[in-house]
Structure 1
Amino acid sequence: MATDKEPTAEPIAEPELEQVRSEPARPRPWSASLLIGVLCTLLGFALAVQLRTVDSDQGLTGARQEDLVRILADLQSRQDRLRSEISEQQDLLEQLGSGEDSAAAAVEEARRQAEALAILNGTIAAEGPGLTITIRDPDSDVDSAILLDAVQELRGAGAETMQVAGVRIGVSTALVGGAGEIRIDGVAVEAPYVIIAIGDSQTLSVAMQIPGGVEDKVIQAGGSIDVVSADQVVVDALRPLEEPEYAEPAPDPDD
C-alpha cells in the first residue's frame, strides 16, 4: 500500500509570523520630507507664475482687432479727459492767482488812502521834502494873524501837512491871541515859532517870499524869518482823531 509523501513546504511558525506583523515600518528621514515639501512649493509657484503670464499674454494676444481698437480709443479718451481736467485746474489756479493779486492791490490801495487821510488829519507822523521855517520875535510883536497867514500861504502853495511850534495843523485848527499870547488849538506857544511843512520845497519857499506876504509882515513886526529847504523833513506832532458829532457818510448813489 502506497504511503502519502510529506509535504516539503513547511508552514511558518506562528511566533515568527507575529514578529513580522508587529514590526513597525521605518520612518522616512525628516530631511527627505522637507525637501519634497520645498520642491512641491516651488513647483506650485512656478506653475502659478506660468499660468498668470500665459493669461496676461493671452489677454491682449487673443483679443480681436476691434477690441484692441476699442481699448486704444478708451485710453485715448481717458488721456483727453485728464488733459482737459489739468487745463481747467490751471485756468482756475490762474484765476485764483489773479483774484489774490486784485485783492492784494485793493487792500494796498485802501491802506494807502487811509494813510493819506491820516496824514491830512494829522493822526500819524509824516516825512518828505519841505521847509523848516523859524520865526523869531524878540520884541513879542508877532501875533497870531501872522502865523495864520503863514499857514494859509503854505496850504495854498501845496503843503500836504505841517506843524507850528510843535502843534499839528489840521482842518479845524484855530490860531488865536495877540502878540506874545498866541494859542494854537488852545495850546499856548512861545517864540521862536518853528514851522515844519511838507511839500514842494521850492514852491513853498516862494510862497513865503511873496511881496507883502509873511516874510515882510514878520520883518515889519520887528522879527526875523529863516527858511531852510530840505530833501526830507519830519512832521511828528499828532492830533487826536476827532469824531464827527453831526456828519455821517452819505449813502452810495449806486446802491
Structure 2
Amino acid sequence: MEPDSTAPVSFPVPEENEPVRRRAIFSRAFRSVKSHHALSPNDATAVRGRRRRKTNDDSLQLIDDLVNRPMDPMFSDSRLVHEQRSVFSIWFNRIIVFLICVGVGFAGCLFVQQLQSDPRKQVRQTLADQLENRNAQIEQLTKDVNAVKAQVDEQSKKVSGKVKSDTLIQDELVTGAVAVTGEGITMTLADPIAASQSDQSTSTRVGTTSKIRVVTDLDLQQLVSLMFQNGAEAISINGNRLGAQTSIRKAGGHILIGVNAIESPYTIEAIGDKNTLAEAMGSKNMASLYDSFKQAGIYPQVNKSNSITLEAAVAGETQYAERNE
C-alpha cells in the first residue's frame, strides 16, 4: 500500500517559531549564559505565536509540540547556583556538631553505667558505713565510761584508802568490765582452704551452697566454754572482749561477737595459767575434737604467751529485777 500523496511529509516550522536549544551548564560560567524566561500565560498572542503553529489539524498539535518543542522554557531558565560559605561559618558548624556529639556520647555513657550499676550495692554500702560509725561511737563511749570509772576509783581511794574489794575486782574481771593484763594462751584456727576457694567460685552463682565444713559459732562457743572451765579469767575473740552480756552467734554469713562481725582466721586469747590452759586445750586432752577438726581441714594452733592485754568489754545496760508491789 503506497502512502497518500496528498499528506505532507512533515510540518515545517517557521524560523520565528523555531525553539531555542541550549545545553545545561553546571559550572561557574553560568553567569555568561543568556537568560531565557518563560512567557507570561496572559500574553496569549505571544504564546500562540511561539508555541503553536497555525494548522487546521488539532490532532497533531501534541506530536508537533513534543517534536519541535521538547524542552520546557521554565527548565531552560533554571540555574545551578552554589552558595559561597565563609570559613567562619564552616568551622562554627563543625564545632557545634562536635560538641553535640560529645554531649550525646557522655550522656550515653552515664546511662549505660547507671543500667549496669546495682542499686542494692549502694544500699548495702550505706548500711555498712552506718554500722561502722555506730561501732566507732560505741567504742568511744566505752572508753569514756572506763575513764570515768577510773576517776571514780581514784576519788574513792582518796576518801576510804581502798578502792575495791577482792570480790568486786574478781567480779569485774569475769564480767569484762575492766581491762586486764596477764599470762595466758592464744588459740588460732581458720576455715579450710577449700572453703575460701568455694566462696570465691560460688560468689558469682546464685542458688549454690557449699557443704564444706567451716568454723561455726557453735565451735567458738564450745572452745570458750572449755577455756572458762579450765581456769581462764578473761577471753577475747579477734580483739573483742567477752563480757557478761556478750554473745557469740551467727547472722547471715558472718559470726558476730556482740555486734561486731569477725572473719577467719579466728584468734582466741585467754588469760590464766598458761601451762594449765595449754595442756587442757591441747590435742592430747581433746583428741576427739581435734580429730573432727582435722577431718574438715581445720588445724587449731595453741601458743603460750607471757603477757596478754585485753581491753574492757562493751558495757551494756543492766536491768535489775524489782518486786511488783
TM-score normalized by structure 2?
0.40
Question: Looking at CA atoms only, which structure, 1 or 2, has the larger radius of gyration?
Answer: 1
Higher relative contact order (CA 8 A, sep 6+): 1
